[in-house]
Amino acid sequence: MGVFRHDEIIETDSVYMVNLPTPPARFFASDNFSGAHPRYIDALSRANKGHVPAYGNDALSHRANELFNELCGVDVEMLCVFGGTGSNVVALGNVLQPAESVLCTQWSHINVDETGAPEKLLGAKLQDVASVDGKLRVSDIEQAAQAIGNIHHVQPGVVSITQATELGTLYSADEISNICDAAHSFGMRVHLDGARIANAVAALGGNAATFRSLTFDAGVDVVSFGGTKNAMLGAEVVLLPRTQNSTRGKLIRKQFTQMPSKQRFISAQFVTALEDGFWIETAAHANAMALRLYEALADIESLQLVRPAVNSLYPIVEPAVKKALQEWSFFWDWDLTAHQVRWMTSWDTTAEDVDAFALGVRQALGFS
């Protein structure tokens, strides 16, 4: 195949037109591309009345914390923050000790997509381990633990896992429990990056008990709970079980410039999300749209599609075809060395969007 433009493929011996259909109304690039759900905008509007105490001392923040206590099954410090990177830095800052490292996979968001923020702001080394599926394993913890007690080596202090992972895979509750048991046996703590925890919960059971089984019941020490990728507007929170030392969490959050003065606007969204399980409903829809896309394209062997666990697919797309499709309806590259891209659905992806995107992909690849 030769040069592929938006409307034609030029080969050495022939030229023929590729009539791509009208692109979908919404992109398949990221759940960060989507807007906020109208229910959350309404919640913001209702919160935008009068004067209330700042810095989390308002009624909405107290209510949100009560709902998180119910969700987690333990009393937690609810540390609202501005974004996912800030959430991870604040969470890690609450469980790291001097001269300690954070064990994570090579794919982890803290390792790849946070511009070195954890290392710069925490002064801690990230020890990334290779993983073919984005998941960290007990054997990785056991290997890192060999450095414990050696004065010349950084001491592994925190294990950070992502649920769902950066490759769209999922840890089972048992896998997380085993990781926590192994980490705790060596005196390490466990952080869970839950930027897409809602998608994982929706896929693995779809209720509060599922969330608890994947987090605090399994032994996780601190959770970064994401809302922004799941239909909210700038709503992220760190969940830290209340202990004698947890009150320092608010100080650490302030030190890392993540304290929202008008916290009621973040809290209002979490109240709306948690009171009736709406946060799981929106994630479940995103997951379902990814499955619909998979089913529409699974017969194309060159894409090497794997049935999605959550709301993302990672096909292999030949570079010339990829370029044309990205110009038609943008999506992100993922692993350039493997010609792998990412297609991601969101809370507002429609069946019509999926069908239009699938049709374009099929036509670009020469399938009817």
Rg (CA), the chain: 22
CA torsion, ordered 56, 58, 60, 64, to nearest 10 deg = 40
Tell me: pLDDT of 2 over 90: no
pLDDT at 11: 39
Which residue segments constitute the domains of the chain, with CATH numbers given? Answer: 7-25+279-364 (3.90.1150.10), 38-276 (3.40.640.10)
pLDDT at 14: 33
pLDDT at 368: 72
Give the whole-angstrom CA distance, residue 222 versus residue 76.
9
Question: What residue has token string 């004065």?
Answer: 151
Choice between 218 and 4, residue whose per-residue pLDDT is larger:
218
Tens-place pLDDT, residues 51-109: 999 999 999 999 999 999 999 999 999 999 999 999 999 999 999 999 999 999 999 99
- Cα 263–chain centre separation: 22
Tell me: pLDDT of 159 over 60: yes
pLDDT at 246: 76
- Cα 197–chain centre separation: 7
Is cis: bond before 164, omega within 30 of 0? Answer: yes
Closest CA to 111 of 92, 137, 139: 92
How far apart, in Å, are the Cα atoms of 106 and each of 47, 60, 177, 348? 41, 38, 21, 30
Interior CA angle at 232 toward 260 and 291, to 5°? Answer: 145
Mean pLDDT to the nearest integer, 346-355: 98
Tens-place pLDDT, residues 260-299: 999 999 999 999 999 999 999 999 999 999 999 999 999 9
Q: What is the mean pLDDT of the chain?
A: 94
Q: What percent of the chain has pLDDT over 70?
A: 95
Tell me: pLDDT of 16 over 90: no
How far apart, in Å, are the Cα atoms of 162 and each of 38, 157, 217, 225? 28, 17, 16, 11
CB 259 within 8 A of CB 253: yes
Mean pLDDT to the nearest integer, 45-52: 98
| Confidence tier at 244 by pLDDT (50, 70, 90) | low
Closest CA to 136 of 95, 179, 182: 179
107 CB-near residues (< 8 Å, 6+ apart): 131, 134, 162, 165, 166, 167
Mean pLDDT to the nearest integer, 9-16: 35
